[in-house]
Amino acid sequence: MDSGKLKAEVYKMRMVDIIQKKKQGEALTALEIDFAVQGYTKGEIPDYQMSAFLMAVYFKGMNKEEISNMTLSFVNSGDQVDLSAIEGIKVDKHSTGGVGDKISLIVIPLVASLGIPVAKMSGRGLGHTGGTIDKLESIEGFKTELTSEEFINNVNKYKMAIVGQSGNLTPADKKIYALRDVTATVDSIPLIASSIMSKKIASGADAIVLDVKVGDGAFMKTVDDARELARTMVDIGKMLNRKTVAIITDMNNPLGHEVGNANEIREAIEVLKGHGSEDETTVALTIASHMAVLGGAFNEFEEAYKNLESIIRSGKAIEKLKEFVKIQGGNSEVVENVDLLPKAKYHIEVKAKEDGYVSHIEAEKIGIAAMLLGAGRKTKEDSIDFAAGITLNKKVGDKVKVGEAICTLHTNLEVCEDAKKVAEEAFYISDKCNTIQYIHDIVM
């Protein structure tokens, strides 16, 4: 369509007609979606009309082409990161958010040690889920604000770099998400998928591995819903020429033993030294292996997995972590001496009230308890206590006796009864020894 006809088409458009069309379950054109998204972002379409549109999408859904067009419209609303100056296939990962999720801290140096460029843009935590940037900033001197030149140079030279997300990436998504939050339209798979994928596309990666969390500590509560979201995002990636794989991982229980910031850094170090918990090591190696295949280092997942295990055993992975911390301005000595990380003043044990086995740990409650201790933010304006957090002394399947510590709270607050109560309520003890399935599915 030439520019004259295009302008005429747009001129004739009315938001009320687009709402009506979607209300009737009809597919919208790319032009109609862009009209709605860009118009709302510029303030030309009022909240009440966008709210009606979002609710129509919530109930009537969108087909793959519509979701792809919505994603592109979000991408085109703001800045896009140009990584063309970086050699090789740029691989990124994204987690839909969980409790104790320190996987990025592990996979960045692990994948970079294979010579695959990992150019990571990451966010801060809010509510019961933590943010990778907050965790890394618990290391003295670690910089997450780099110039474009520093970022690209680090990736070219060392194959890894991380920065906080730019303020003008996908502003349309940011504005629409705020409206979704107050109109009960957050849990719409087309809207979730386009929101996540727009940020990844705008961040400039060639290939994307998605860690889709499922369970009570995640946004997706059932495996079927997680699978639908994963399939939708993988399809968007393919339609927009990005190699994409989604891994559905369990978040019915917190990942690993540590929840917080500095204490999660300690645990990530242990994983890269080969001493990590089974759940965390399995999830990290699975994600890193798929990144390695997409990055062209290996043809098969199994081959990548074995090689990455070998890299951990050889000590190469932990050396790469030291390098990562150093090039970002941090004190790399923390890798060998974790006592240099912030430590809390108070350590309070939460004890079991009955004998049995830990059958379940509510991840969301552990995340909330950690936030109450100072490890997270209730609002974006809140500051974080890097030393605060929770250690899970017992995991699902562990035997426990009355009076034995099931978790330990770390805080600088003198009074933390609310956090203690929430953490205590998170643990379920029964006479049955349960096991957890760490990886539920792979969607390609």
Residues recognised as catalytic:
94, 173, 180, 195, 199
Residue partners of 344: CB distance under 8 A and separation at least 6: 385, 387, 388, 389, 410, 411, 412
CB atoms within 10 A of CB 378: 11
State the alpha helices, DSSP H only, in 336-435.
Answer: 363-372, 417-426
**Which residues does 347 contact at the CB level (< 8 Å), separation at least 6?**
408, 409, 410
Task: Give the DSSP H/E element, type plus range, for residue 10.
Answer: helix 3-12
Alpha-carbon distance of 94 to 76, in angstroms, equals 20
Look at residue 118 and give its three-state secondary structure.
Answer: strand
In angstroms, the CA 368 to CA 389 distance is 10
Strands 427-430, 356-361: pairing is antiparallel
Give which of 205, 368, 214 is closest to 295, Cα–Cα: 205
What's the rounded Cα separation, in Å, for the pair 248 and 223? 8
246 and 281 Cβ atoms separated by less than 8 Å: no
Dump the DSSP string for 119-187: EEEE---BTTB--HHHHHTTSTT------HHHHHHHHHHHSEEEEEPPTTBSHHHHHHHHHHHTTT-SS
| CB 89 within 8 Å of CB 209 | no
Are 423 and 350 contacting, i.e. CB atoms less than 8 angstroms apart?
yes
Beta bridge pairs of residue 246: 210, 443
Query: Rounded to an integer, what distance in angstroms lies between the CA atom of residue 52 and that of residue 19?
Result: 7
Query: Residue 261 corresponds to which tokens in the numbers above?
Result: 């910031």
Q: What is the dihedral of CA 83, 86, 91, 92, to 10 degrees?
A: -50
